[in-house]
A and B are shown apart, each in its own frame.
Chain A
Amino acid sequence: MWQYIVKRVIGLIPLILVVSFVIFMFIHLIPGDPARLIAGKEATIEEVQEIRVSLGLDKPIIEQYFVYLKDLLTGDLGYSIQSGAPVSELIGERIMPTLGLTFISIIWALVVGILIGVVSAVFRNKWPDHLGMVVAVSGISLPNFWVGLVLIQLFSVQLGWLPTGGADDWKSYLMPSFALGAGIMAMIARFMRSSLMETMKQDYIRTGRAKGLGGNAIVFGHALKNSLIPVVTIAGLQFGFLLGGSVVVETVFSFPGLGRLLIDSIQFRDYPVVQAEILLFSLQFILVNLLVDIVYSFLNPKIRYQ
């Protein structure tokens, strides 16, 4: 097991290096001189040159990349153009609300998605199945920003039960996490249904039936665990969907998280913050997929020996 984990982690190093290089190139890909972009429109030639030297932009690109990598490893993400504060500090303030939001979203999406999937598979082609799949295909097609706005209208404007935004207490997490998790819940429900139906066709299930086990014992005692394996993988892959969605949902609810910071930074052309945020989002995505692979290999030992 440990051998497999170490192997997978080492295998990720080249990918992370390439991703960090692509993101490092980000500021060089924006048309125009990066030093001038950072200095602003009113800056004099001397000021621009000063910034160029202080950021090392006068050095060869490869050298700049290694400096960038070294800074990254020491936690130095540069300084915000807008506020002058260290980027790591800005991100530090925002990371917990976003992590909380994504965590709550994925948990409810998994629980409800698996539940709907199991009910649909057990009542295959009967009305609970049809209802479950209507919910699932609608969930995939719903724009999360619209879900957010409809929730605000219903629970904040009409009923006055929940706050329209912020992240002050548990109440302010309810609507954003519902809007964010709905799409993933729907995908999990669909995969859970087909995975469980696939598992129910296996020989060992027939054996279980033959020795007289009832329907519930078969589903919950044998089939469920095995049919969860592909669902875990899908949940991991869809995590990227959640990260992208968090940007939109945080904007709807004025939620003080990383996604909101990203959009604000793009509007202010605060490129160091944008760069650091995109790196952070990708690293999270890569790490979650690593975690999923490890869980997967734990559930399905065959993978480890390939």
Chain B
Amino acid sequence: MSDVQTEIMPEGAVSMKEGKLSNFWKDFRKKKPALISFYFIILLFIITLIGPYIVPYDPAAPDYNKVLESPSLQHLFGTDSFGRDILSRLAVGARISLTVSISAVLLGALVGTFLGLISGFFGKWVDRAIMRVCDVLFAFPDLILAIGIVAILGPGLKNVVIAVAFFSIPSFARIVRSATLETKEMLFVEATRSIGASNKRMIWKHIFPETVPTIIVYFTMKVGTAILAAASLSFLGLGAEPSSPDWGAMLSNSRDYIDSSFHLVFFPGLIIFLTVLAFNLLGDGLRDVLDPKTKD
């Protein structure tokens, strides 16, 4: 990133941005697994938006003549114990799983980034206080912390978002803090300080933009973790309503039918796996392009 700053940019700011973007795309396109994952995630987002309007069957309507049917041409992924079409339910459930995990990571990233920026920028007691709080949060294993929070707040998707956001905060804070410490020492930040820029301006106008690539990479990877955590909580009966088409809840319900109707277990799990895999591969690819120095 520092080399971008020191490069001479004769054109205006807009074209500089365009240049960065096309450079990024040129490098990113070479990362085949990440590129495929990117298209897969775009497809998922489209399904999230239009899924309810294009699914072949009503995901909530029971059909007692078609209970526990194996995959067929009419029902590609089969039907569940109420005769509902599994493919339709998975498509509609994408909205729940993606909304929950992305909003949780977004919330965690907002709070964590803010804490990391002020911790790294101000140092001294501010830094020490924030880092000690992070230490305490780190002392709880992620999923145990989330389970504890849901135990306090009660089950439900809103509380799953809070619980997953909570355990994302300290890791975002640490990562942004170290990126801030590094940026703070750069010459151009020194220069803005010497011409009398305010702390607020320095943090938001100069330091924060430098930490954005790190945040994007980490955010992508954390979404994968969040999908797994949210699905785990739903699986344990602490997340989504058992009747909702949430992916974790569908798996939890299907456990009783494992010996007779394995497709009930197989497809929801497969879609969770592929989605998490896509976010992880996209994160890997983004890291190689945007933030190569943090590689492993």
Binding site for B on A (CB under 8 A): 15, 18-19, 22, 26, 29-30, 137-138, 140-146, 149-150, 152-153, 157, 190-191, 194-195, 239-241, 243-245, 247-248, 251-252, 262-263, 266-267, 271, 274, 278, 281-282, 285-286
A247–B143 CB distance below 8 A: yes
Which chain B positions have C-beta within 8 A of A150? Answer: 265-266, 269
A143–B140 CB distance below 8 A: no
B255–A149 CB distance below 8 A: yes
Distance between Cα atoms of A286 and B139 in the complex (Å): 6
Which chain B positions have C-beta within 8 A of A146? Answer: 251, 265, 268-270, 272-273
Which chain B positions have C-beta within 8 A of A262? Answer: 147
Distance between Cα atoms of A244 and B272 in the complex (Å): 18
**7 residue pairs, one from A and one from B, having the closest CB atoms:** A244-B143, A146-B269, A240-B141, A141-B277, A194-B296, A141-B276, A243-B141
Residue B148, interface by CB 8 Å: yes
Distance between Cα atoms of A246 and B236 in the complex (Å): 12
Given A15-B139, A248-B236, A30–B152 Cβ distance below 8 Å? Answer: yes
Choose from B136, B140, B238 the contact partner of A266 (Cβ within 8 Å): B238
Distance between Cα atoms of A243 and B276 in the complex (Å): 20
Q: Mark B123-149, 1 if CB is under 8 A from A, else 0.
A: 000000000000110011111101110
Residue B3, interface by CB 8 Å: no
B136–A245 CB distance below 8 A: no
A274–B151 CB distance below 8 A: yes
Known A143-B276, A157-B259, A282-B140; 13 more pairs at CB < 8 Å: A30-B151, A30-B152, A145-B231, A146-B272, A149-B258, A153-B258, A157-B258, A245-B143, A248-B235, A278-B140, A281-B140, A282-B139, A285-B140
Which chain B positions have C-beta within 8 A of A18? Answer: 136
Shortest beta-carbon distance, A201 to chain B, in Å? Answer: 14
Which chain B positions have C-beta within 8 A of A241? Answer: 141-143
Distance between Cα atoms of A241 and B269 in the complex (Å): 19
A-B contact pairs, 10 of them (CB 8 A): A26-B152, A29-B152, A137-B284, A138-B273, A240-B142, A241-B142, A244-B144, A245-B143, A263-B147, A278-B140
Binding site for A on B (CB under 8 A): 135-136, 139-144, 146-148, 150-152, 224, 228, 231-232, 235-238, 251, 255, 258-259, 262, 265-266, 268-270, 272-273, 276-277, 280-281, 284, 295-296
Which chain B positions have C-beta within 8 A of A194? Answer: 295-296
Choose from A153, A251, A286 the contact partner of B235 (Cβ within 8 Å): A251
Shortest beta-carbon distance, B174 to chain A, in Å? Answer: 12
Distance between Cα atoms of A29 and B162 in the complex (Å): 15
Which chain B positions have C-beta within 8 A of A267? Answer: 237
Choose from A22, A140, A281 the contact partner of B280 (Cβ within 8 Å): A140
Distance between Cα atoms of A46 and B265 in the complex (Å): 49
Which chain B positions have C-beta within 8 A of A278? Answer: 140, 144, 147-148
Which chain A positions have C-beta within 8 A of B237? Answer: 263, 267
Distance between Cα atoms of A19 and B151 in the complex (Å): 17
Choose from A26, A144, A145, A281 the contact partner of B144 (Cβ within 8 Å): A281
Given A30-B152, A143-B276, A194-B296, A149–B144 Cβ distance below 8 Å? Answer: no
Choose from A15, A143, A274 the contact partner of B273 (Cβ within 8 Å): A143
Choose from A140, A271, A281 the contact partner of B141 (Cβ within 8 Å): A281
B136–A137 CB distance below 8 A: no
A153–B265 CB distance below 8 A: yes
Which chain B positions have C-beta within 8 A of A248? Answer: 143, 232, 235-236
Distance between Cα atoms of A145 and B238 in the complex (Å): 15
Which chain A residue shows the least CB distance to B259?
A: A157
Distance between Cα atoms of A286 and B224 in the complex (Å): 25
Shortest beta-carbon distance, B292 to chain A, in Å? Answer: 13
Which chain B positions have C-beta within 8 A of A22? Answer: 136
Which chain A positions have C-beta within 8 A of B268? Answer: 146
Choose from A143, A149, A153, A190 the contact partner of B228 (Cβ within 8 Å): A143
Which chain A positions have C-beta within 8 A of B280? Answer: 137, 140-141
Which chain B residue shows the least CB distance to A265?
A: B151
- Max chain B CB contacts within 10 Å: which of A137, A146, A252? A146
A266–B147 CB distance below 8 A: yes
Choose from A19, A29, A244, A271 the contact partner of B139 (Cβ within 8 Å): A19
Shortest beta-carbon distance, B77 to chain A, in Å? Answer: 15
- Max chain A CB contacts within 10 Å: which of B139, B150, B152, B281? B139
Shortest beta-carbon distance, A150 to chain B, in Å? Answer: 7
Which chain B positions have C-beta within 8 A of A195? Answer: 296
Which chain A positions have C-beta within 8 A of B228? Answer: 141, 143
Given A190-B296, A247-B147, A152–B258 Cβ distance below 8 Å? Answer: yes
Which chain A positions have C-beta within 8 A of B266? Answer: 150
Distance between Cα atoms of A300 and B222 in the complex (Å): 31
B152–A263 CB distance below 8 A: no
B141–A282 CB distance below 8 A: yes
Distance between Cα atoms of A146 and B140 in the complex (Å): 24
Shortest beta-carbon distance, A61 to chain B, in Å? Answer: 16
Distance between Cα atoms of A152 and B147 in the complex (Å): 25
Given A18-B136, A146-B265, A247–B236 Cβ distance below 8 Å? Answer: yes
Which chain B residue shows the least CB distance to A142?
A: B273
Which chain A positions have C-beta within 8 A of B296? Answer: 190-191, 194-195
